[in-house]
Structure 1
Amino acid sequence: MSTDTVHTARSFTHSMVVIHRGMRRESRLLAELIGATRPGDRRRARALTAHLSDYLLGLHNHHHGEDELIWPLLLSRVDLDADIVIRMEAQHEKVAATITRLNDLAGPWARSADAAGRDALVAALAEHRALLVEHLDDEEAHLLPLAERHLTEAEWNAQGDHFAEHTPKTKILTLLGVVLEDATPDERAEFLAGLPAPARAFWRLYGQRHHAARMRRLREDVRTSRTGAGIALLTGVGIGYVGLSYILDPTGTAQGFGLPSVPSGDAAAWLNIKGVRDLGTGLAVLTLLARGKREALGLVMLAFSTIAAGDMLTVLAHHGSKATAFGVHGATAAAVLASGLLLLRAARRR
């Protein structure tokens, strides 16, 4: 085999590394996301087990292509290195057993969303990932160099056609997204170059956006994120409005704060200072929300909850209106705190 041929085969087998990268990521994230699911949340359980099913289908078909096309060719061409191929076959059998176990556990948990089923599924995923990562590491270190020496590019390429033939067309988009998600721009371009032109165009126009939206729904608890963001939006608009009110009508606005007396004359300038503070607080919340900085916004909301809590304690300490202290300032502190916790929870899941 010429030097040029070896270089071509060597660069082409790197596609396997890209595929493996997606498998490592998804096997890890699935365990984390399922483990974080609240007992009784059947909607979340169904969504995650559907993705688990897609991941397991892609892994099974990927290994099936190697079993059918790669191992037989290598065994017919190698001698001393046959033990590497035999070891790959044995590892595939172990991984296949974990796939069967995961499929058996996923269905019941999707229907019940109970804690016991969730924990059993997470434990099975941990076992699956340990065997899978051991196999992927071994394959990249020892099998790929062997394939580079003994297979042609066309023979290696046959795996892609086999995968497409044995995978439902409705699943191809999801599995392509799993592979390309962590690929570098060069890796992504090389991978897409192997697809028919219509498939490449469909991926660029629709597929990648669809995949990104699907992953957001899975990796964030979208209901949690939206609730936290909604409270933050109301807080930002509300506190900004209060700030403007203190700037435009300081004395009138201060009547509703809950304190027994309101500054007048030159002392009323303190009310303008409060207005500027509240306006800046509202703008900070709205800016972070507009920029999509959910985790930072969550931390800021936790910090800002101390402002409303401090206002409540100030009103109570100066014998002001208890109804205003608890009903306005206390309720605001609780809502802002809840928003921060929800946003941080969603960020951790992402």
Structure 2
Amino acid sequence: MNTDTLPAARSFTHSMVVIHRGLRRESRVLAELVGATRPGDVRRAGAIAAHLSDYLVGLHNHHHGEDELIWPTLLSRVDLDADIVLRMEAQHAKVAATIERLRGLVGPWTRSADAAARDALAAALAEHRAVLVEHLDDEEAHLLPLAERHLTEAEWNAQGDHFAEHTPKTKLLTLLGVVLEDATPQERTEILAGLPAPARAVWRLYGARHHARRMRRLREDVRTSRTGTALAALTGVGITYVGLSYLLDPMGTAPGFGLPAWPEGDAAAWLNLKGVRDLATGLTVFALLAAGRREALGWVMLAFATIPAGDMLTIFAHRGSTATALGVHGLTSAAVLASGLLLVRAARRR
């Protein structure tokens, strides 16, 4: 066997790099979400504040495990490198101070959602992120190599049990999702392998989908997305109905299209082809709705808007019903286009 093709064994401290990746992302995204919240939107503020609370609990308990289990053990075994551990302790204190400031600011903002409270919280989150990222960078560069030399894998992994013991069970799935979200497939496999079998089963059967839905709702403009989704759903229902009508009663349905004439006899098979096209269009909308792929649905709706627009222009070109061209096909194209724009815009504002 060619050993050059085998992946290099990871250090037992690599899990910390994956955890830090999630903390960096959430500290950035939370600041963006708070800053983008419209004044007076108490519901949106409450949703973001709930996730901020979970994030702060996770970060506090993560650092508490290091304070209790890692720093004392390292200080008892190192000499010249003790300054690294002492620096980690000092950085934890700075991060803890920013956490307390955030907890003091999030309550007033949640109750009022006014611009001043929002801006104060966003500024505090930016300060928190700066202090946190400085610590995470320093820890990865200097503390992890030190831990690899002076701690056993079992001593290092004791942090996981400490975290699970001190974190409310209702928050564990959310915080696991935060860690796994940007993990590579190999990292995800390794982290899940370290969990008890029941925990792995709960994550795979429920937790992963729950976390994805929660983050999707949190990071998108919910009201804009709901409007776009409603328009898409109505479009899906409408076009599916039209498609079935052309398949079941083509000659009875065709006059409503707006053209001055339509195929008859064997040529009426073209009406069935239109029915298949419309039915497939509606089913595509429902498939993307069911999968929760709002951004993909938005782009598809933008593409689908060309269908009724083309139908409208075809009616004009053949001197059909102007009222039907504008009132049915034109309005349908505008609604589909609006749905696509709203869904894409909402996704881009995550």
**Structure 2 length-normalised TM:** 0.78
Q: Secondary structure at the match of 1:140?
A: helix
Q: Does 1:153 align with 2:153?
A: yes
Separation of aligned partners in 1, 2:144 and 2:263: 82
Cα distance in structure 1, aligned partners of 2:240 and 2:337: 18
CA distance in 1 between counterparts of 2:188 and 2:262 reads 67
Contact 1:258 1:315 in 2 (8 A): yes
Q: CA deviation at 1:264?
A: 6.9
Question: For structure 1, which runs of at least 5 residues remain unmatched after alignment?
Answer: 1-8
Partner of 1:344: 344
| Structure 2 match to 1:280 | 277
**Structure 2 residue 332 is matched with structure 1 residue 332:** yes
Determine whether 1:138 maps to 2:135: no
Aligned-partner Cα distance in 1 for 2:170–2:247: 58
Q: What is aligned with 1:229? A: 229
| 2:87 aligned partner | 87
Mapped contact 2:236–2:285 kept (Cα < 8 A): no
- Whether the 8 Å contact between 1:237 and 1:282 is mirrored in structure 2 is no
Whether the 8 Å contact between 1:164 and 1:172 is mirrored in structure 2 is: yes
For 1:307 and 1:185, locate their aligned partners in 2 and report how far apart those are by CA, in whole Å: 40
Q: What is the one-letter code of the residue matched to 2:283?
A: L
Distance 1:203 1:254, change over 3 A: closer
| Superposed CA offset, 1:195-231 (max 9, x none) | 4444444434443343333333323455544543342
What corresponds to 2:287 in structure 1? 290
Letter matched to residue 211 of structure 2: H
State the secondary structure of the residue aligned to 1:72: helix
Is 1:224–1:346's contact at 8 Å kept on the other side of the alignment?
A: yes
Matched residue, 2:41: 41
Say which is worse superposed, 234-243 or 20-29, in terms of deviation: 234-243
- Deviations 1:214-252, CA, capped at 9 Å, x for gaps: 333323455544543342233244235446667887786
Q: Which residue of 1 aligns with 2:27?
A: 27
CA drift of 1:145 comes to 0.3
CA distance in 2 between partners of 1:297 and 1:87 (Å)? 49
Structure 1 residue 112 displacement after superposition:
2.0
Q: Mark the CA change 1:252 to 1:24 in structure 2 (over 3 Å): closer, same or farther.
A: same
Segment drifting more, 45-54 vs 10-19: 10-19
Hey, what's the Cα distance between the residues in 2 that align with 1:244 and 1:38? 43
Following superposition of structure 1 onto structure 2, how do residues 119-198 of structure 1 map, counting pairs within 5 Å? 119-198=119-198
Residue 143 to residue 309, structure 1, CA distance change in 2 (3 Å): same
Deviation string for 1:169-192 (max 9, x for gaps)? 222222222223333444334334
The 3-state SS of whatever aligns with 1:40 is coil
Q: CA RMSD in A?
A: 3.6
Are positions 1:105 and 2:68 aligned together?
no
User: SS state of the match for residue 76, structure 2?
Assistant: helix
In 2: Cα distance, 1:246 partner to 1:45 partner: 47
- One-letter identity of the residue aligned with 2:305: S
* Structure 1 residue 88, shift from structure 2 partner: 1.7
C-alpha deviation, 1:135, in angstroms = 1.5
**119 and 315 in structure 1: CA distance in 2 versus 1, 3 angstrom threshold:** farther
Partner of 1:6 in structure 2?
Answer: none
Equivalent pairs counted in the alignment come to 338
Deviations 1:63-117 (A, max 9, x none): 1222222222223322222222222222222222221222222222222223333
Match of 2:70 in 1: 70
Amino acid across the alignment from 2:180: L
User: Structure 2 vs 1, CA of residues 178 and 247 (structure 1 numbering), >3 Å: closer, same or farther?
Assistant: closer
Sequence identity, in percent?
A: 79
Q: Is the alpha carbon distance of 1:112 and 1:193 closer, same or farther for their aligned partners in structure 2, counting shifts above 3 Å?
A: same
The yes-or-no answer on 1:14 pairing with 2:7 is no
Compute the displacement of 1:130 (Å).
2.4
Gapped regions of structure 2 (runs ≥ 5): 1-8
